[in-house]
């Protein structure tokens, strides 16, 4: 049967499918709009199943805040071309708006919510059928507080949300902190929020690094006293190369090997634990300063940290929770 342009346009408005897909569906359905919509949906389901093992690394990341609730939604796809498509961005915005309205407690709950006559999961599957790419809701996360703020970095690939203990302040103050989270990627609000296993792992790494540095310092001192440049003997390959170049004599090379073996063993057995602990504790404190939000240097004024910036606005103001999500490679 002949299909009119008006019917094709109507179905395209209903489904978001391409003109040729709409024409084909209407032809197969003999003009029945309900059947045509179902055909397009089945195509989307088939594509979604076929491409389920594909990597959806691109997408659109959006965030919004409303009073005491803020959330991030990330709709993922396979290519940058689809990610920047206006209909794809609009679908992400629809999902975000529904999340802000309903405040679901999980991604699964969000996927089950209705927009019009379809669940969000069905809308994503339908859009997959339109584009021919795998699509999935890659992230849904939220915060609650007396006040919240959302920040979306230009390009829709990175967003952050922050909750605060006080409302009613200049919105720029809240936004500054959200931009801090986006730019500096802290791991916790303060040192109390850093996971114990993370601290234990960093302490282990710092301890081994400190011991190695202390031993190497004693080896380098012994080499220097013997008239050997430590930089010329820092590896066996370097020793052999420098002997060939004439920068080291065979005797110096032998002496260097002896010093490196004996002094390193002696130094390792005589390290002072108190000194090690002091250096390691300093390195852990440096991690807290660089990787916890309140202790980080404020990006707009490095002479103060984020806690001091908020305190300068309101003595009791603090961030209580934050979330950050990006599709960028970091």
Residues 69 and 172 grouped into a single domain: yes
Inside any domain, residue 296: no
CATH number of the domain within which 20 lies: 1.10.8.10
Structural domain boundaries, residue 42: 5-50
Report the C-alpha gap between 94 and 62 in whole angstroms: 10
Residues 168 and 217 grouped into a single domain: no
Inside any domain, residue 265: yes
Report the C-alpha gap between 241 and 227 in whole angstroms: 18
Residues 142 and 181 grouped into a single domain: yes
Inside any domain, residue 242: yes
Residues 121 and 167 grouped into a single domain: yes
Residues composing the chain: 330
Q: How many other CB atoms are there within 10 angstroms of residue 305's CB atom?
A: 18
Residues 34 and 76 grouped into a single domain: no
Paired strand residues for 158: 326
Residues 182 and 236 grouped into a single domain: no
Domain termination residue (choose one: 16, 33, 50):
50
Instruction: Give me Rg for the CA atoms of the chain.
Output: 30
Question: What is the phi/psi pair of residue 106, to 5°?
Answer: -155, 165
Inside any domain, residue 152: yes
Residues 74 and 183 grouped into a single domain: yes
pLDDT tens, 251-268? 998 999 999 989 989 988
Confidence check: pLDDT of 307 > 90: yes
If pLDDT is split at 50, 70 and 90, which confidence band does 19 have? confident
DSSP 8-state symbol, 187 = S
Residues 180 and 234 grouped into a single domain: no
Inside any domain, residue 295: no
Closest CA to 18 of 40, 3, 1, 34: 40
Cα 105–chain centre separation: 21
Total tally of structural domains belonging to the chain: 3
pLDDT tens, 207-230? 999 999 999 999 999 999 999 999
Report the C-alpha gap between 28 and 8 in whole angstroms: 13
CA distances from 164 to 144, 168, 217 (A): 8, 11, 47
Residue 35's pLDDT is 83
Inside any domain, residue 263: yes
pLDDT tens, 127-164? 887 777 889 999 999 999 999 999 999 999 999 999 99
- HSE-CB for 40 with a 13 A CA cutoff: 31
Residues 45 and 72 grouped into a single domain: no
pLDDT tens, 190-212? 999 999 999 999 999 999 999 99
Residues 178 and 322 grouped into a single domain: yes
Question: What is the phi/psi pair of residue 248, to 5°?
Answer: -130, 145
Inside any domain, residue 302: no
Strands (DSSP E) contained in 10-109 are 58-66, 69-77
For the entire predicted model, the pTM comes to: 0.80
Residues 109 and 10 grouped into a single domain: no
Residues 126 and 216 grouped into a single domain: no
CATH number of the domain within which 106 lies: 3.30.479.20
Inside any domain, residue 266: yes
């Amino acid at each position: 049967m002949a299909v009119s342009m008006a019917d094709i346009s109507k179905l395209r408005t209903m489904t978001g499918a391409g003109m040729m897909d709409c024409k084909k569906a209407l032809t197969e359905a003999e003009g029945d709009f309900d059947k045509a919509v179902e055909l397009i949906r089945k195509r989307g389901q088939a594509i979604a199943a076929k491409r389920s093992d594909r990597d959806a690394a691109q997408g659109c990341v959006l965030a919004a805040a409303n009073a005491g609730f803020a959330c991030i939604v990330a709709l993922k796809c396979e290519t940058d071309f689809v990610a920047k498509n206006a209909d794809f961005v609009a679908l992400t915005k629809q999902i975000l708006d529904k999340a802000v309205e309903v405040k679901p407690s999980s991604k699964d709950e969000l996927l089950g919510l209705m927009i019009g006559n379809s669940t969000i999961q069905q809308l994503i599957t339908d859009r997959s059928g339109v584009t021919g790419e795998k699509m999935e809701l890659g992230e849904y996360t939220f915060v609650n507080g007396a006040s919240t703020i959302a920040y979306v970095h230009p390009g829709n690939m990175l967003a952050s949300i922050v909750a605060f203990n006080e409302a009613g302040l200049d919105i720029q103050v809240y936004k500054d902190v959200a931009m801090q989270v986006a730019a500096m990627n802290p791991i916790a609000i303060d040192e109390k929020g850093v996971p114990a296993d993370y601290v234990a792992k960093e302490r282990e790494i710092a301890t081994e690094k400190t011991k190695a540095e202390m031993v190497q310092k004693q080896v380098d001192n012994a080499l220097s006293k013997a008239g050997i440049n430590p930089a010329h003997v820092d590896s066996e390959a370097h020793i052999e190369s420098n002997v060939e170049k004439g920068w080291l004599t065979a005797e110096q090379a032998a002496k260097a090997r002896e010093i490196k073996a004996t002094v390193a063993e002696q130094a390792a057995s005589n390290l002072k634990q108190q000194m090690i602990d002091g250096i390691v504790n300093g390195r852990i404190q440096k991690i807290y300063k660089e990787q916890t939000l309140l202790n980080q240097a404020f990006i707009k004024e490095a002479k103060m940290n984020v806690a001091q910036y908020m305190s300068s606005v309101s003595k009791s103001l603090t961030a209580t929770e934050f979330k950050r999500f990006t599709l960028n490679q970091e």
